[in-house]
Amino acid sequence: MLLRTEQLTKHYGPITALDRLDLEIVPGEIVGILGPNGSGKSTALRLMLGFLRPSAGRASINGHDCWDDSVNARTHVSYLPGELRLYENMTGRQLIEFLSRLRQYALDERMPQLARTFDIDIDRPLAQMSSGMKRKIALMQVLLPQTPLVILDEPTNTLDPSMRDQLLDQLRASAQRGQAVLFSSHVLTEVEHVCDRVAILQCGRLVHWQDMRALRSVRRVDVQLSRAIDGLAAPAFVKALQVNGLNMQFEHTGPLPELLRWLAELPIAELNIEPMGLANIYQHYHRMNGTTP
C-alpha cells in the first residue's frame, strides 16, 4: 500500500476539519477527492504531507508516518499546492533546479522536453509570468522527480482547456509508469475522465467511494413518452426507475441491444441516453444546500 490513512482526524478547536478518514491508494492508481469548499480536501492533503499534526489517527506513505517520519514520507511524494506561491525572484529554471537540489535528484533531458510539452519559457523570471504559466512551472517541478506518489491540490486552476488536457494526459502517463496520483478538484468532468476512484468528502467526512470503471458502465436513460402506458413492466436491467407522468428516468448497466429492444416497444417521443457521470452522484451527496441526504 502506497498511501494509507487510518481514522485520520483533524480538529481546529471546536471545528472538525477532517473526521476519521480511511483511505488507501496503491501504485498506478489515480484517485480524486471531491467536495465543496470546507469539506476537508485540502486538510486531508496537508495532513498527508506532514504540514499538520493529526488530532487522531494516522497517515502513512510507503510505511512512513506522515508526521513522525515526515521527511521520509515526503521523499516519496511531490506536491502541487492549491494556493500556488512561488519564489518570484527566480526564473522557472532556477526554481526547478533549487527544488531538485533539495530533493536530491538530477535533472535530465526531461526538463526541456516537459517545457516544450507545456509550451513554457523556463528562463523567464517568475515575477513576469501569468498565474497559468506559474502553474505550469509548478507542475513541472511536481512531474520531473517521478516520485511514487503525486499529490495535486486543484491542479487545473488557472489552466486553459488545452493545457488542462495536457496535464490530464501527463497524469495518465504517470499512472502508467506506476506512480499513484491523488488530486482534489471542483471540476467533475476532469475527475471523471482521469480517475480510477473518487472519494467524496462532505463536512470533513468521507461519504462515498466511487469506482469510476463501474460508474462508466452505467447509463442514465431519460425517456419522454408520447402517451401514457398502463401497467408498465420494467425488465430486470432497468434500475432506479422513476416515472413522472409521461417522463421516465432510469439507470441501465449491461449490453445496449437489450435496452434498445425494450425501448423500441414503447411509444417514445424523445430519448436521451448518456453515461451516468459523477454529477448525479455528487449532487446526491451535496444537494442544493450541501447537507447530507
Partner 1 sequence: MTWALTRKLLRDIRIAWVVVAVLLFLFQILWARITMRVTTQIFAALGQFGVTRQAVMRILFNQGEPGQSPEMLGQMVQAIIGGENIAIDKAGDLMSVSYVHPLVLSILCIWAIGRAANAIAGEIDRGTMELLLAQPIRRTQVVLAHLLVDAIVFPTICAVMWFGTYCGTWWMGLQAAEGNQHVDPWRFVPALLCVSMLLLSVSGVTMAISALGRSRARVWGWAVTLFLGMFLVNVFGQIWPEALDWLRPFTLHYHYQPQNLIKADRWYASGAVWFHLVVLALYGFGGYLTAWITFCRRDRPAPL
Residue 111 contacts partner 1 per CB under 8 A: no
What whole-number distance in Å separates Cα of residue 44 and Cα of residue 184? 10
Minimum CB distance to partner 1, residue 73 (Å): 8
Supply the minimum distance, in Å, between the C-beta of residue 48 and partner 1.
11
Q: Decide whether 16 or 75 has the Cβ nearer to partner 1.
A: 75
Query: Measured between alpha carbons, how far is 263 from 282 in angstroms, rounded to an integer?
Result: 28
In the chain, the amino acid numbered 287 is: R
Of 102 and 288, CB closest to partner 1 = 102
Confirm or reject binding of residue 66 to partner 1 (CB under 8 A). no
289 close to 218: Cβ distance less than 8 angstroms: no
SS3 24: strand
User: Is 102 among the residues that bind partner 1 (CB under 8 A)?
Assistant: yes
Q: Is 37 in the site for partner 1 (CB under 8 A)?
A: no
Asked if residues 103 and 87 have their Cβ atoms less than 8 Å apart, the reply is no
- x-or-dash string of contact with partner 1, 133-172, rule CB under 8 A: -----x----------------------------------
Spatial CA neighbour of 82 closest among 8, 209, 186, 200: 186
Nearer CB in complex with partner 1: 153/192: 153
Rule CB under 8 A: is residue 53 a binding residue for partner 1?
A: yes
**Is residue 177 involved in binding partner 1 (CB under 8 A)?**
no
**47: exposed, middle or buried (Cβ count in 10 Å: 0-12, 13-18, 19+):** buried
